[in-house]
Amino acid sequence: METLRIALLGAGTVGSGFVKLLDEHRGRFRALGLEPALTGILVRDPRKPRPGWVPEGLLTTDVGRVFEEVDVVVELMGGTERAGRLVLDALGQGLPVITANKALLAERWEELKPHAMEGLLYYEASVMAGTPVIEPLSGVLRGNRTLELHGILNGSTNYVIGRMEDGLGFAEALAEAQAKGFVEEDPFLDVGGIDAAHKLTVLARLAVDPDFSWEEVRAATRGIQELTREQIFEAEAEGKRIRLVASLVPNGGRWKASVRPVKLLADHPLAQAAQARNALLYRGDAVGEVLISGGGAGSAVTASAVVGDLLRMLEGYPGHPPLPEPVPVPDYEPEILEEA
CATH topology of domain 2-131+299-314: Rossmann fold (3.40.50)
Q: Quickly state the pLDDT bin for 42 (edges 50, 70, 90).
A: very high
> What is the average per-residue pLDDT within 4-14?
96
pLDDT at res. 57: 95
Q: Give the distance from CA 196 to its chain's centroid.
A: 8
> What is the average per-residue pLDDT within 320-330?
95
Q: Which range, of 24-38, 57-71, 272-286, 318-332, averages the lowest pLDDT?
A: 272-286
Residue 199 a catalytic site member? yes
Q: Quickly state the pLDDT bin for 155 (edges 50, 70, 90).
A: confident
Contact between 330 and 147 under an 8 Å Cβ cutoff? The reply is yes
3-class secondary-structure state, position 150: strand
What is d(CA 314, CA 295) in angstroms, rounded to the nearest whole number?
Answer: 25
pLDDT at res. 277: 83
> What is the average per-residue pLDDT within 303-320?
97
Please state, rounded to an integer, the average pLDDT across all residues of the chain. 95
pLDDT at res. 112: 98
pLDDT at res. 273: 76
Residue 334 pLDDT greater than 70, yes or no = yes
pLDDT at res. 166: 92
Among the listed residues 186, 128, 265, 132, the one whose alpha carbon sits nearest the alpha carbon of residue 12: 186
In order of 32, 52, 104, 106, 272, the CA distances from 215 in angstroms are: 42, 41, 13, 9, 30
3-class secondary-structure state, position 200: helix
> What is the average per-residue pLDDT within 53-82?
96
Residue 124 pLDDT greater than 70, yes or no = yes
Mark residue 79 as left, alpha or beta (left: phi above 0; alpha: psi -120 to 50; beta: remaining): left
User: Which of 48, 113, 180, 199 is the catalytic position?
Assistant: 199
What is d(CA 106, CA 198) in angstroms, rounded to the nearest whole number?
Answer: 5
Q: Is 11 annotated as a binding residue?
A: yes
Q: 299-314 and 13-24 helices cross at what angle (nearest 10)?
A: 50
- Residue-range domain boundaries for the chain: 2-131+299-314, 134-296+328-339
Q: Quickly state the pLDDT bin for 179 (edges 50, 70, 90).
A: confident
In this predicted model, what pLDDT tens digit does every residue of 245-275 receive, in sequence order? 999 999 999 999 999 999 999 999 999 876 6
Confirm whether 2-131+299-314 and 134-296+328-339 share one CATH topology. Answer: no
What is d(CA 273, CA 242) in angstroms, rounded to the nearest whole number?
Answer: 11
Q: Is 339 annotated as a binding residue?
A: no
Longest dimension (CA), the chain: 62
Residue 20 pLDDT greater than 90, yes or no = yes
- Count Cα neighbours of 108 within 13 Å in the Cβ-side half-sphere: 18
In this predicted model, what pLDDT tens digit does every residue of 272-311 receive, in sequence order? 876 668 999 999 999 999 999 998 878 899 999 999 999 9
Q: Is 15 annotated as a binding residue?
A: yes
What is d(CA 239, CA 265) in angstroms, rounded to the nearest whole number?
Answer: 6
pLDDT at res. 182: 76
Q: Is 184 annotated as a binding residue?
A: yes
CATH class of the domain at 134-296+328-339: alpha beta
Q: Is 10 annotated as a binding residue?
A: yes
